[in-house]
Amino acid sequence: MAMSRESLAFVFGIIGNIISFAVFLSPLPTFYTIFKKKSAEGYQSLPYVVALFSAMLWIYYAFVKREAALLLITINTFGIIVESAYLIVFLIYATKKSRESEFEL
């Protein structure tokens, strides 16, 4: 039984969303350690800022390119929420000096 091109694209979209879900959650052990130690010393926020901007750009792309927009919007909305939470935890537990050096322009 042959699958249509649209069905195949949807299946691969679901697989991509599952993988993206795992990628967004992969820093959880790091943030558990930060939360447990009450310190973000030795960690940088750059990967999480980049991931946040990437998810934002994917949502923008989903609005521009209407096909498969639902899959792109759902997983990247989740990504924005998760990455924002990571950055909030980082900012809470980072030293003042670290916060200033991480976010200066």
Q: What is the structure's pLDDT at 1?
A: 66
Each residue's pLDDT tens digit, 4-45: 888 898 899 999 999 999 999 999 999 999 999 999 988 989
Mean pLDDT of 66-70: 81
Where in the chain are the domains? 28-103
Q: Which two tokens stand for residue 7?
A: 């069905």
Residues in the chain: 105
pLDDT value of residue 75: 97
CATH topology for the 28-103 domain: Monooxygenase (1.20.1280)
Residues 4, 77: Cα–Cα separation, whole Å: 28
- Cα torsion 80, 83, 84, 86 to 10°: value is 160
Residues 6+ apart with CB under 8 A from 101: none
What average pLDDT is seen over the chain? Answer: 91
Q: Over 60: is that where the pLDDT of 105 sits?
A: no
pTM summary value? 0.87
